[in-house]
Amino acid sequence: MKIAIGNDHAGTEYKSVIVEYLKSEGIEVTNYGTNENSSVDYPDFVHPVAKDVDANKVNLGILICGSGNGVAMTANKYKNIRAGLCWTKEITELTRKHNDANIVCIPARFTSQAQALEIVKTFLRTEFEGGRHLNRVNKIAMCI
């Protein structure tokens, strides 16, 4: 499995913990995020992740910023991206099962590192249910 990860300054420490976990599971990680804590512009780190997921260069993406909103809004500009803002494992599970999310967006200022790691674990182990949800998901991308 291949994962692309991106973060702004609010998510640097979270990213380190998540990347360490992913690598321990044998998952290949492409790190597009900052490794610094000084202020940066989150779109600069979102676009490479979204492009990789959109082009199927990686299986899934992980984005981290302060609220999770900015990275989700940016990633969702791409036609084939379904980025879900997740702050609990329950929301994460539903985002994958019902919405076939291919990028998880984590709000670092509203979750602990332990919660963020649980969100990632849930995101990776949950499959899309399809069925009645497939028709809905197929109606999401309306742009060319």
Catalytic residues: 65, 98
Helix (H) or strand (E) holding 30: strand 28-31
Hey, how many other C-beta atoms are within 10 angstroms of the C-beta on 120? 26
Pairing of strands 60-65, 2-7: parallel
Closest CA relative to residue 113, chosen from 102, 121, 103? 121
